[in-house]
Amino acid sequence: MNRMMKTKTASTTQEKILQAAILLMRQQGFCATTVDQVCAEAGVTKGAFFHYYKSKEEIGQAAVQRWCQSRAEGYRLDLGDPTGDPLVQLNRLLDGLMESVRNPPDGLLACLLGMVSQELGTTHESMRAACSQAFAGWTSFVAQLLGAAREVHPVRIEFEPDQIGWMLNSLWQGSLLVAKTRQDPEVVLNNLRHARAYIDSLFEEPGSCGPN
């Protein structure tokens, strides 16, 4: 019962801290985000912070994990019917990304993974590993769809599903980076359209994507 209440509101102290950290690190990056800022944003004191996370790095890890997990949930939902045409599912995934560009979470078009792996990739091994794993997860997710699509759709050009997956991943991260720098999300949308066109070109018949 106690647990239910807590879980339901989802606004426990720990959760507030974590959400504050995610938001701030997406905005400013890991190293520019101070523990004090996180506490202020979450409305708690440092005592509370260090009760739940024993170091700044630890909350960094937690933030990455939580971010990936909630993203993954979203992707799953975007796919729609899991028994349908894999190519259609892939297109739905891309549509989901586009939608998340037009209505980004917290009004902030930025991916925690991109931020953290850029900053800490060279210096914080454990953080890098976490991000690498997260990237690999998403990529294999896409690659599986592409592999399945290859089974049911005649192929025009031979391709490696993994490679395409990594390319999509890279393009997505790079697009967000450029969009942030240009202060214009349009570039992400355009890039995703080109990616879709490229994928379509790999198969004999064009994908079922609308004009989007």
Partner DNA sequence: ACCGTCGGGACGGCCCGTTTGT
Partner DNA sequence: ACAAACGGGCCGTCCCGACGGT
Nearer to its own copies (CB atom), residue 65 or residue 169 = 169
Whether 64 and 113 have beta carbons less than 8 Å apart is answered as yes
Nearer to its own copies (CB atom), residue 86 or residue 172 = 172
Of 127, 143, 136, 107, nearest to 65 by C-alpha is 127
62 touches which of DNA, its own copies, none (CB within 5 to 8 A by kind)? none
- 151: tokens are 């089974």
Of 167, 136, 133, nearest to 65 by C-alpha is 133
* Gap between the Cα atoms of 22 and 26, Å rounded: 6
The binder of DNA chosen from 41, 48, 177, 193 (CB under 7 A): 48
* Gap between the Cα atoms of 176 and 154, Å rounded: 33
126 touches which of DNA, its own copies, none (CB within 5 to 8 A by kind)? none
* Gap between the Cα atoms of 200 and 42, Å rounded: 45
- Sequence-distant (6+) residues with CB within 8 A of 12 are 6
- Sequence-distant (6+) residues with CB within 8 A of 211 are none
Q: Which stretch binds DNA (CB under 7 A): 20-28, 40-48, 81-89, 178-186?
A: 40-48
Q: Determine the Cα angle at 50 with ends 47 and 53, to 5°.
A: 150
Q: Which stretch binds its own copies (CB under 8 A): 22-30, 55-63, 70-78, 97-105?
A: 22-30
Instruction: For the segment 137-176, give every residue that binds its own copies (CB under 8 A).
Output: 163-164, 166-167, 169-175
User: Rule CB under 7 A: is residue 7 a binding residue for DNA?
Assistant: no
DSSP 106: G
- Site map for DNA, 55-74, x if CB under 7 A? xxx-----------------
User: Rule CB under 7 A: is residue 208 a binding residue for DNA?
Assistant: no
Minimum distance between the CB of residue 15 and DNA, rounded to whole angstroms?
Answer: 10
Whether 188 and 175 have beta carbons less than 8 Å apart is answered as yes
List interacting residues with its own copies (CB under 8 A). Answer: 27-29, 31-32, 110, 114-115, 117-119, 121-123, 128, 131-132, 135-136, 163-164, 166-167, 169-175, 177-178, 180-183, 187, 190-191, 194, 197-198, 201
List interacting residues with DNA (CB under 7 A). Answer: 2, 12-14, 33-37, 44-48, 50-52, 54-57
